[in-house]
Every structure is written in structure tokens, then in C-alpha cells.
Structure 1
């Protein structure tokens, strides 16, 4: 091109544009506060009183562990062995129900929900599971019934109406392979209950389990009929094994789920993971692992467990003077702050009021 023509072209060209301003950072979203077994730091776990306190204290979700009665009703207990969480051992009419059983490979002696009808279980009363660490909760021993899943849903529905916001439900299927093996499958019962209740047809729901097979079954049963229901794969210690894998002769451990490839496999049936919290930030307080980043890359949310306010459950640098049972609210909030900064999307806590405090500190 001749020099004159080049000058003319430059003169007619539009002036160079200033660089586009950088996009503002995406607003941070407050993590979900999941009331672990209700507000179990303040009331005996898995009681309606515990769930009601969790709702009152600002939980976004309440979390019932589900097991089955002899007559196939879903009830909320941490384990099907109710020896330490009810007064059953003190009742002479049930002395002959004591059994030795093997549950997920563990030999246990006690009383088990599957040997009682719902009517019989309703005659029992709940007790604090860890009274030495939570002596204040033990004052409520023998005051509360065992709650059914339907009663918990009703409580959540009433709480949502009263507060003008949804109260999510985060049920955990406990020992699903064991219960299926004795003819009391949990998955079908739960899905039927979710589909049959007007509240759970639209309310936020996460279904969780340590066993991937149970979660795949729930996913298959629900299909696309309930978009409000999501699935969370719980992940225990990296060197431990899911019960259903062990029963199938699969020698892998939870570590297989933690790699980028393993997380992509989880994402084929689940929406999130619920890892033991040291898998996100080691208990010695070192830097976060890559788990949150890798899970997000696979399209999974991350809800670690469990945040508790007693010295016994806190990392040493966050403990205060006192014994293991000493309540340490600031210590728990400080621990949560580090996990929230690491990018978790929610967390399970025994003290939802403290969890709410930490979550609400996130700038909108």
C-alpha cells in the first residue's frame, strides 16, 4: 500500500478502544446452615425439640438420620441400635428384645429399631447420646418421644409457614444395605414419603448416604419427577470403605471418590458431597486441600461435617481453658470462618445459631 493510502486508512480508522473494565467479582453466597440432628448441641439429638430449636436458631435445613421400625415406618435415630439413645434398657417389658447382631460388619449387642413396631417405639423416651460431653442435654432425658419422618416433615412445614421461608430437609439413609437385607428397604419408603407429602414435593430436599448404591437407587426412583430433590454422597475417612462396596467385594476406599476422576463419577448420580471436615482442611490447621476446587470443577457442591461447639471437637489452637465438655462458641465460629473462606457451600453443625452467625458474616 502506498504511504499516502496508508495514512488515509489510519486517519479513517476508529480510535483505539480503552480496555473494558474488569467484571465485578461474583457476589459471595452465604453457605447453607444444616442443623445436624437438629440443634443437637442444645437438645437430645433427633427429637422434635431438637429440630424445632434448629429452625428457631436459623437453620436452612434440618437433618434426620433414618432407620426402620419392624412395621416399616421411617424413624429418626442416629443408629438402629437404640441402647444408648433411649431408655429401652430400663424397661422390663423389653428386656427380651436385647440381641447380638452384625450391622455393616460390626458386631453389636443391644436393642434395635427393626425389632419394635412404631407403637412400641413410641413408648420409649429419648436420651442424650454423649452425656459426659453434653451434661446440659442430659437434663432433658426421658422427656421426648422418638420422632417419625412424617412428624419431622410436618414440623418443617409449620416452621416454614411461621417464618415465611422454606425449611429444607436433609435425610440420611442409615445402613441401607443392612435394612434391605432384612426386608425393610429404606430407599423406596423415603421416596414414597417424599412424593406423597405436599410439602416435600416442593421444599428443598437433599438425600444423603455413605452408600453410593442407595443414592443411585433414590436417583433412579425419583428420575426427573422432583427437581427439588438433590443427592449428596457422604464421604468418610479416606482409608475407610462404604458398606455396600465391602459387601460387594469392592476393595476400594473413600479415597477413590476424592480424586478428580472419582468426583466426576460421583457427579453422575449426585449433586454434592458431604466430606468429613478434615478432608477439606486437615485438623492440624494446614492449608485447605484441593477437594473443594476439584468438587466444584465436577459440578458438585461441598457440605462438610460436623462443626460442634465443645472443646473436645475443636482443633487444639482453637480450644480454650476447661475440660473437653466446655462450650467454646467463638472457637467454633472461627473454625467455620476458615472453611467458609475455603469455599464450602454449606456445613453440618450441632449448633445452628453459631452456624448462622458465621454464615451471616459473609458479605452479600
Structure 2
């Protein structure tokens, strides 16, 4: 049984302490008390679902140092952004499984970077096994918050993430432990239509428009901001179970009202990502001038929790659990 209050979700595991999406990051997150773990899901050329922040992996693996893969370096346009590097869809799982994970933010998280090269990258099925083992070990049901990355792009190259993800999630759980999220609403509906039971959460940026809408409507695509009006939230409530918003939207004076308005139409509200380092805190909560040092995270976390959100994504699960306890009075 989890503690009362909003869900504490390990963002890519305990990614403040270990390279993200590694076994040690996931297992540490469970040990530190998360209610759920969020993986980012992309795919290989042969349709295996792998867990990486992006399909471009030069910043999170040692692929750039592997001479055998030098010829895979490419430039691609993904969701309107030109990227140069190495992409999961250009590898088979057998090839990717030889790579080792590295810290994505080595200048900020130097301690985590000392674990570079220690662990391989994982598949979605590996994480689901870790969650089952964690539940058995702790007596808590640990949910997955599966983030679908770049589904419109992957569909354009013939890799149907909706089908691949639906098949794995349905084989794992009947829905009690499943939350699916994406910055594109289209794929959420597609995965639900494929029989996945659970909650479906629409990720919302503080600016811009959803990639699936841009692909369909171009410059006329509805901006995220229009989806957060009363009318926009009411429309979303007919199609998804909740929204997950950039934390900057909740730190504004209108933040509590946004949560109240979403709750009024039946939507859950999550937010991302709560981090203690000065680099990621709002200016008023920074302490000193060194980006990697921790600032007044307790005040910022408390302000966000005070809006009444239903879930927080954290890189340091123990800090999320502690902040929740302060707000709820949990002992």
C-alpha cells in the first residue's frame, strides 16, 4: 500500500543518483519509495522496445566511442528538429545490447557519471520484470508510467510504437499498474483502442504545439496553451484521464487555479520534473551560483505539491517522498 497523497514517480528511475534508465537507477528508485517508475520508450530496427531518453543515443551511451558503429552516425529530422548522432532505429537489439549507459548530465551530476559504462541499456520487458521483483521485495505495487517517445516519427519510418507497446503492456498487467503518457494525444487513443487498460495522460509543454498536430496541421496546429483553457480541458477530459504539465506552469500565480480547473472536469494533474540542483530550480529558489549544487528545493517542491497535483516526477525519489510527507503530515 502506498502512502497518502500524490504519486511519487521515479523519473527514469533514480536518475539523480545513477545514469538514467539503468537497472541500478530503477532498483534504487524502488528502494527509495517510489509509487511508479517512468521509462522513455523508443524502438530498434527489429521492433524491440528499448528505454532511452531519446532515439538519438550519443548522450546516454558509449556509442560514439565504438568504432564498429562509426558508420551509423547520421543526421535526421525528428519532430521538426534536425539531429546528428546515432539512432536506435538504425540498430538491432543484438547490437544495442552491447552498448553501455552513460550519465546524460555529467557536469551537473558528477557522482552519477562515475557509474558510466557499468551497465547495459535495457528493454521495456526488463523494466517490467524489475517492477514485479520490486513489488515482491517491498510489498508495494509499483506502477509503470510508460512514456511513448516520438510516435509520429516512428510511424513514418514503419515502426508502430502503439502496437508494440500495447502488446507488451497487455501481457504484463490488467491495467491497475499501467499509466501511459505522451506529448502526442493521437497515440494514447491508439494504444487504448488496442485494448490496454490503465490511465492515459497527455503531456503538455509550456509552449509550442504537439508533434502529431504539427504533422497534420502545420503552422495552424493548436498550441498547447489552447488545450489548457477551460474549453480545452473539457475536450481533453473526454479523451484522456489526465494531463502532465511542465512545472513552470504550476509555479506561476495561476498554477493552483490550473489544477483546480483540471480537477473540475475530472482530469488528474501530474507535473515534471522536480529536481534539487540550482540549474533546474526557479530563480528564486537557487542558492549560490554553482549550477550543480542543490538550492532551496524543499520550498519549490512544497509549492508544487501545494497546488493539489496528483503526481510528481522526480529524479531524486527520496526528496519527493520527503516533500510529500511534509505536505501531507505523513510520518
Common fold by TM > 0.5 = yes
Per the TM alignment, residue 327 of structure 1 is displaced from its structure 2 partner at its CA by 2.7
1:221 corresponds to 2:194? yes
Q: Which residue of 2 aligns with 1:17?
A: none
Deviation at 1:287, TM superposition (A): 5.8
- 1:1-364 alignment runs, 5 A limit: 29-197=4-172, 200-222=173-195, 226=197, 229-237=198-206, 239-249=207-217, 250-282=220-252, 286=253, 288-328=255-295, 331-361=296-326, 362-363=328-329
CA distance in 1, matches of 2:287, 2:23: 31
**How far, CA to CA, are the matches of 2:294 and 2:250 in structure 1?**
24
Q: How far apart, in 1, do the equivalents of 2:255 and 2:194 lie?
A: 36
Corresponding residue of 1:21: none
Task: Supply the distance in 1 between the matched residues of 2:125 and 2:13 (Cα, whole angstroms).
Answer: 15
Deviates more, 1:202-211 or 1:65-74: 202-211
Structure 2 unaligned blocks of 5 or more: none
Q: Is the 8 A contact 1:272 1:301 kept in 2?
A: yes
The alignment partner of 2:55 has SS state of coil
Q: How well do the aligned residues superpose, as a CA RMSD in angstroms?
A: 1.5
In the TM superposition, structure 1's runs of 4+ consecutive aligned residues that sit over 6 Å from their partners are none
TM-score by length of 2: 0.95
Distance 2:47 2:107 in 1: 33
* 1:235 to 1:202, Cα distance in 2 relative to 1, 3 A: closer
Q: State the partner residue of 1:15.
A: none
Deviations 1:83-123 (A, max 9, x none): 11110010110000011111011111110000001110010
Deviations 1:161-211 (A, max 9, x none): 1111100100100000000111111111111101112xx225421100000
* 1:25-66 alpha-carbon deviations (Å, 9 max, x no partner): xxx941110100111110011111111111111110000000
2 CA distance for matches of 1:109 and 1:317?
36
Any conservation in 2 of the 1:167–1:203 contact (CA below 8 Å)? no
Please, what TM-score do these two structures have when normalized by structure 1?
A: 0.87
SS, match of residue 137 in structure 2? helix
Q: Classify the secondary structure of the residue corresponding to 2:200.
A: strand
Name structure 1 gaps, 5 residues minimum: 1-27
| Counterpart contact for 1:81–1:112, Cα < 8 Å | yes
Deviation digits for residues 230-282 of structure 1, max 9, x if unmatched?
00000002x30110000101421101210111111111221111000111222
Q: Deviations over 1:121-175 (max 9, x none)?
A: 0100011111111111110111111110000000000000111110010010000
Mapped partners of 2:298, 2:86: distance in 1: 37
